[in-house]
Structure 1
Amino acid sequence: MKKIILDQIRAKPDAFLTYDQYISLALYHPDKGYYMREQSKIGREGDFYTTPAMAPVFGEFLGKWLCRTLKEAGLPPVLAELGGGSGQMAANVLKGFKKEDPLYSDRLIYRIVEGSAYHQAAIRHAVGDDSRVQLYHSVTDLPSCEGIIFSNEFFDAHPVKVAVRDGQEWLEAGVSDEAGELTEAARTIGDEKMKRMLREWSIPLHMNRVEIPLQMIESYETAVHKLTRGYMLTIDYGMERDEQFSPLRKNGTLRAYRNHRLLDSVLDFPGEADITFNVPFDLLRSQGETLGLEEAFWGGQAEFLIKGEILNELAHQADFDPFSPESRRNRQIRQLIMGESISDYFRVLLQSKGIKKP
């Protein structure tokens, strides 16, 4: 993958790849990209953990919540999951949805956006021959629908541009070739959308470096336009504006993980490491409002789960066998809602479109 990237740099007249171009190659190159490769990426054998992988009860609860929310709003049973990954989420959501209402579940249409052929095969393996499941390569391919479009750790996997401060001026950081090694360089910003976001975002003066998620915003807007009536549910690793632009993060949040270790640079091990950033939820919230969405919930994942009555999922045990399925399930629920859990790092944004308030 490194050679492919170097060849791309050398083919450019200015010998410069913007960070979104670099990340697109490192993550999504058809043969060598990280997400396209045929290898496990989630769990102990991979490079990172996800909530659905660590706590299957999360997906099952979400399936029940999605079912109730669709019915309460008088919506047809249509779901669209952005970023299907290994299919663990889909399998557990389908299980929970059926438990909540078997007859309604029989009519369910479950659409999944997943661009990796490897992950599409994993999804098919996870859900079996379930005819309710439909796979799509991109958000653009999704049919318009009434229902719920939801995602878990989808937007943080989008390539981003990177702006670096040079005195009073912002430059665009990118990747160049220095004696056969990938190195960072900076140049004058030429992208008008990037310039506009920097102007309108009111970035504090102490920030030296910031990610500009133009592709994330484009995907989000496309998804919103696909939704004719219903809800957008976004669950992701991200922060409020004050946290995002804290002096602690003055050098940005773009980072790479390999074998569960934070790498020194996102330029290390391209194609072999996950590259991610903190989702700036203030952009999704403001853009949603501009596009006519109403905010129904905004907060931490634990708060969302408790408000959604996940505590009702606790099993009331007659025995205290710590290895019983009931005990394991209860531990998963407690880990999701108690302090210093994976939920501490995730935020939940629920937005509605065309839903009349009771």
Structure 2
Amino acid sequence: MNQTIQTLIQQSEDKMIPYDLFIREALYNDESGYYINKNAFGKDGDFYTSSYVHDVFAEVMGQYFIETAKLANIPLHICELGGGSGRFASQVCQQLANVLDGDVLRYSIIEENPSTREKWNRIENNIIKDSFASLEEFSSAYPAFCGFIFSNEFLDAQPVRIVEMLEDTLYEICVTEQHGQLTETKRLCPTFLRQWMEERKITIKNGYRCEVPLYISSITANIAKALRRGFILTIDYGYNRDEWMHPARKQGSLRGYSNHQLKSNVLENVGEMDITHHVHWDVWIEEGRKYDIEFHRLMKQSEFLIHYGIMERLESHQSQVFSAKASKNRAIRSFILGDLGSAFDVCIQAKGEIG
């Protein structure tokens, strides 16, 4: 993978590449990208998502989908961005299979990994599963889509640019190569990048650096094009504008994860670890409004799960600490009292006339 990055650097005019190109290659390169070749999830991977903690997460999410579909009078069609291994999608389908009562569930995943897509496509009784390489491809198949667009830790894995303010001058931080090793360099921030930040009120103090999420523009536009009527449910970790100004965020939020350990230098072991950042929630919400996507609420994941009944899923059991019921109860406590509840946010938006 290092050779691929170094070739891109050598082919560039000024012998450096922006961070978003580096991240795109490191994570999504068709031959050697992290998400193509690595088993990223779970105990044997590099990080946990909520669906790997316990099935109870998918149980609550399934309850949200079916309740909201009935209240809003929209089809029970879920489109998941970044389906990953398909674990969450499978859990939700299993949960809803018992309560569909003759209704049809469609569950579509958007996933770049072709092996995941191939495994997912099937029809099981009244559940239709299909997959697509992109949201644009999905839109072609469902040009009048009504339902849910869901994502869980999808935005944080998108490529970003990096900027830093030094002595009142804004620089873009780029990736270059020295003596066979990848390292950072800087250049004056391009005009288009500065203008994009100014239009979205992304400000930065002297001595601070931050990620610039250009991807929000294209993803939001594609969601708006795909969704005629329904909800956008986005689960991720992120900050609002005030939180970005805190001294703790002085170095930005770009990080790597390998074997469940945080790595501050993402230029090491390229293609062997996850690369992630925190979402700019204000930018995400305001970009949606440009396309008549209405913001409903931003809340902690623990608050969302409590609202949709996770506490009612606690089960009485004896003292067998390794029983299935005890395991489920521990998972619920971790979702409410642990980092899984406090670190993640749930953003709810809607488009079209909702009943």
Q: TM-score range by the shorter chain?
A: over 0.9
Judge conservation of contact 2:302–2:340 (CA < 8 Å) in 1.
Answer: no
CA separation of 1:253 and 1:333: change in aligned 2, threshold 3 A: same
Judge conservation of contact 1:206–1:250 (CA < 8 Å) in 2.
Answer: no
CA separation of 1:286 and 1:16: change in aligned 2, threshold 3 A: same
Q: Give the alignment's Cα RMSD to 1 decimal.
A: 2.0
Judge conservation of contact 1:224–1:232 (CA < 8 Å) in 2.
Answer: no
Residue number in structure 2 paired with 1:63: 62
CA displacement at 1:198 relative to structure 2: 2.4
Residue number in structure 1 paired with 2:116: 119
2:59 & 2:207 partners in 1: Cα distance?
A: 40
The question of 1:79 aligning with 2:75 is answered no
Judge conservation of contact 2:32–2:271 (CA < 8 Å) in 1.
Answer: yes
CA separation of 1:98 and 1:216: change in aligned 2, threshold 3 A: same
CA displacement at 1:347 relative to structure 2: 0.4
CA displacement at 1:202 relative to structure 2: 4.3
Judge conservation of contact 1:64–1:99 (CA < 8 Å) in 2.
Answer: no
Residue 230 of structure 2 aligns to a residue in which SS? strand
CA displacement at 1:233 relative to structure 2: 0.4
2:15 & 2:331 partners in 1: Cα distance?
A: 49
Residue number in structure 2 paired with 1:282: 282
Residue number in structure 1 paired with 2:13: 13
Residue number in structure 1 paired with 2:182: 182
CA displacement at 1:321 relative to structure 2: 3.0
CA separation of 1:180 and 1:129: change in aligned 2, threshold 3 A: farther
Please show how residues 28-67 of structure 1 align to structure 2 within 5 Å. 28-37=28-37, 39-67=38-66
Query: Which range is displaced more, 132-141 or 282-291?
Result: 282-291
Judge conservation of contact 1:207–1:249 (CA < 8 Å) in 2.
Answer: no
CA displacement at 1:206 relative to structure 2: 4.6
Judge conservation of contact 2:168–2:206 (CA < 8 Å) in 1.
Answer: no
1:9 & 1:71 partners in 2: Cα distance?
A: 52
C-alpha distance after superposition, 1:119-163 (max 9, x if no partner): 335656xx8967611100012212241111111000111000111
CA separation of 1:86 and 1:202: change in aligned 2, threshold 3 A: closer
Determine which of 350, 353, 357 is the counterpart of 2:351.
353
Residue number in structure 1 paired with 2:324: 325
- Segments of structure 1 that go 5 or more residues without pairing to the other structure are none
CA displacement at 1:94 relative to structure 2: 0.8
Determine which of 128, 132, 151 is the counterpart of 2:128.
132
Using the size of structure 2 for normalisation, the TM-score is: 0.92
- Segments of structure 2 that go 5 or more residues without pairing to the other structure are none
CA displacement at 1:341 relative to structure 2: 2.9
Residue 282 of structure 1 aligns to a residue in which SS? helix
Aligned residue identity for 2:18? T
Residue number in structure 2 paired with 1:272: 272
Residue number in structure 2 paired with 1:296: 296
Judge conservation of contact 1:85–1:123 (CA < 8 Å) in 2.
Answer: no
Residue 211 of structure 2 aligns to a residue in which SS? strand
Residue number in structure 1 paired with 2:340: 342
CA separation of 1:334 and 1:76: change in aligned 2, threshold 3 A: same
CA displacement at 1:11 relative to structure 2: 1.3
2:291 & 2:58 partners in 1: Cα distance?
A: 29
Residue 272 of structure 1 aligns to a residue in which SS? coil
1:142 & 1:67 partners in 2: Cα distance?
A: 22
Determine which of 106, 118, 134 is the counterpart of 1:109.
106
CA displacement at 1:69 relative to structure 2: 0.5
Aligned residue identity for 1:8? L
Judge conservation of contact 1:5–1:25 (CA < 8 Å) in 2.
Answer: yes
1:169 & 1:137 partners in 2: Cα distance?
A: 40
The question of 1:309 aligning with 2:329 is answered no
Residue number in structure 2 paired with 1:25: 25
Aligned residue identity for 2:78? L
C-alpha distance after superposition, 1:261-283 (max 9, x if no partner): 22241111111110000011111
Residue number in structure 2 paired with 1:141: 137
